[in-house]
Every structure is written in structure tokens, then in C-alpha cells.
Amino acid sequence: MSLIDTLHAIINFDGFFELLPLVQSSLLAALILGTLAGLIGPIIQARDMAFAVHGTAELSFAGAACALWLGTSVTWGAIIGSLVAGAALALMGLDGKNRNAVIGIVLPFGLGLGVLFLSLYQGRAANKFGLLTGQIVAVTPTEIQTLLVVAAVVWVVMALFGQRMLFAALDPQIAQARHISLRAMSLLFMLMLSLVVAVSVQFVGALLLLSLLITPTAAASLVTAKPLWLYVLSMVFASIAAVGGILLSLSPGLPVSPYITTLSFGIYLLCWLVAKLRHQPLSRV
């Protein structure tokens, strides 16, 4: 196969507008996920918890795999697994010096359980693969409803407590002096993170979750230091990656996850270049 044929197999728009109506629900799900990821991302970055996201995702994956094996709701299985992970990580001293060790213990445990349940599951192989790499193009109306409920809960909690969560992450000593409970904010944030991880795992997969929850915020932080713009750009970048990934994968018929990760990484590189050019001193004549 020639290079041109290979590129055409990866990127083409054959029958694009005929296929577009088939993924309207998926585009809505991607947009909701993008806003949720961008909303939670700045606090993940402030708390330096990228590794915790991965650990939570593995237990969410285990819960979803268990539900798949038992023939029950994969959505609720992912949510229960993720909430258990979030509560466990918060209560086991996630803010202490042994944070990475605790996450490193939970992560392989969750992944091992997930692999066990997938091995026991005798159904379609595509369902197994989808839990690892995502299946956002197969979203159902029930999953959309669950996603909307989770999004509403996260948005309300973040509107009420988001500023205090961010304050507790950026300056815990001052926050504690102002009678903000660090443990309460940590637990509440981990529960919100768990909900976002749970719904995201089903659509982008446990292995590629960081491309939505970490990369967009990292990119936004390269071009702005203002909290408001950090949130806005994080949501915009995550939404572009999620929605754009679906649109680019539509005609080739390939898995959407590589397109999402590539777009997310491309946005990061673009922001990195902008930051470099912005801080590069002008040459003297």
C-alpha cells in the first residue's frame, strides 16, 4: 500500500454528510464529556493528580468489566467502581507523602480485576475492546441520560464548591486557616473526579482517558495563568478533541480513540509553540 493510500485510509471524508446524522448522539456525548473534563482538569493539575486519574480509571474499568460479565448495566458498574476508587484513595491519605505508592497499589489491582472479569466474559470481543479504548460511536439514549445526570451533579457541586476545592489545592495552609476542611474538599473532589472518570471510561476507554482529563488543561496552562481562562480553554480544547475525533474517524471507519488522542496532543504542541514564541526575546538588529 502506498503512502497516499495509507493516508486516505486514515483521513478521508467519503460519504461524510451521509454518515453525520448517525452520530448525533455521540457528538452530544463528546461535547458533554469535553466540558466535564475541562471543568475538572484545572483542579487535577493543581493537586498534581494525573497518576490518580489513571488509578481511578482502572477501578472504574474493573467495575464496568464486572458488570459486563454479570450482564448488568456497564454504566453503573463503571460508576460504582470509580466511586469506590475515589473514596479509597481519598481516605488512604492521597495528600500525604505516600500518595504515588497508594495509587500504584490501587492501579494494578483494578487493572488485574478488570482483566479477570473480561476473561470470564464470553460475549462479543468488541465489548471487551471498547472498555479499554472506548466506543463513543455506539452511545445509547440510556447512556446519554446517565451522562446528563452525572454532568448536572458535577456542574452543581463544582459551582458550589469548585472555588474552595481549587483554593485548597493551590494553598492548603491558607485554606485551612480560613476554616476550609482539606479532607472534606479532598473527598468531595475525588468523588466528582470519580464520576467524570466513570462516564469517560465508557466512551474513550480506560487506557486513553488522560488525553481528555489531563492534556487539554496542560495545554491551556501554557497560554494562560488566569483561572477563568484556564477553565474555559480546558473545556474548549477537550471538546475540540472529543468532537473532532468523532468527525475525523467517521468516514475511515476506524476507532475514534486515536483521533482524540492525536488531536489532544496536537493542541498541546500548538500551545507549547505559542508559549515559546511569546516568551522568545526579540532579536536585535
Percent share of the chain, pLDDT over 90: 18
Among 8-17, 91-100, 235-244, the minimum mean pLDDT is found in 91-100
Q: By C-alpha distance, which of 204, 69, 199, 192 is closest to 147?
A: 199
Residue 130 has pLDDT above 70, yes or no: no
Q: Which residue has the cell 458550589?
A: 160
Query: pLDDT at residue 2 above 80?
Result: no
Give the helix, strand, coil percentages of the chain, each rounded to 5: 80, 0, 20
Instruction: For residues 66 and 80, give the distance between their C-alpha atoms in angstroms, rounded to a whole number.
Output: 11
Burial of 242 (0-12, 13-18, 19+ CB in 10 A): buried
pLDDT of 236 reads 95
pLDDT for 175 equals 82
Q: Quick count: other Cβ atoms within 10 Å of Cβ 11?
A: 13
pLDDT at 235: 94
Q: How much is the average pLDDT of 258-283?
A: 86
Question: Residue 270 — pLDDT band, cuts 50, 70, 90?
Answer: very high
* Per-residue model confidence (pLDDT) at position 284: 46
For residue range 188-234, what is the model confidence (pLDDT) as tens digits?
A: 888 888 888 888 777 777 666 778 889 999 999 999 988 889 999 99
Question: What would the grid cell of residue 276 be?
Answer: 515559546
Q: Is the dihedral of CA 269, 270, 273, 279 positive or negative?
A: negative
Nearest to 32 by CA among 199, 216, 233: 199
Among candidates 175, 188, 254, 213, which has minimal Cα distance to 11? 254
pLDDT at 219: 95
- Sorted by sequence, the CB contacts under 8 Å of residue 145 that are 6+ apart come out as none
Per-residue pLDDT at 285: 40
pLDDT given for residue 153 in this prediction: 92
pLDDT at position 272? 95
> pLDDT value at position 184?
85
Rounded to the nearest 5°, which phi and psi values hold at 212? -105, -35
pLDDT band, residue 124 (cuts 50/70/90): low
pLDDT tens column, 51-88: 778 778 888 888 888 888 888 877 788 888 888 887 77
What are residue 5's phi and psi, to 5 degrees?
A: -65, -40
Per-residue model confidence as pLDDT tens digits over 131-154: 666 666 667 777 788 888 889 999
Task: Name the strand (E) or helix (H) holding 251.
Answer: none
Q: What is the grid cell recorded at 174?
A: 491558607
Backbone angles phi, psi at 66, to 5 degrees: -65, -45
Does the pLDDT at position 129 exceed 60? Answer: no
Inter-residue long-range contacts of 154-161, CB under 8 Å, 24+ positions, other chains counted? 154/36, 154/39, 154/40, 154/192, 154/195, 154/196, 155/39, 157/188, 157/192, 158/39, 158/40, 158/192, 161/185, 161/188
Average per-residue pLDDT for the chain: 82
For residue 219, the Cα-to-chain-centroid distance in whole angstroms is 14
Helix H or strand E segment including 207:
none
Residue 5 has pLDDT above 80, yes or no: no
Contact 63, 78 (CB under 8 A): yes
Q: What confidence category does residue 113 fall into, taking pLDDT thresholds of 50, 70 and 90?
A: confident
- In whole angstroms, what is the distance from residue 94 CA to residue 86 CA? 10
Domains located in the chain, CATH noted: 23-206 (1.10.3470.10)
Largest CA distance in the chain: 72
Residue 108 and residue 92: Cα distance in Å, rounded? 16
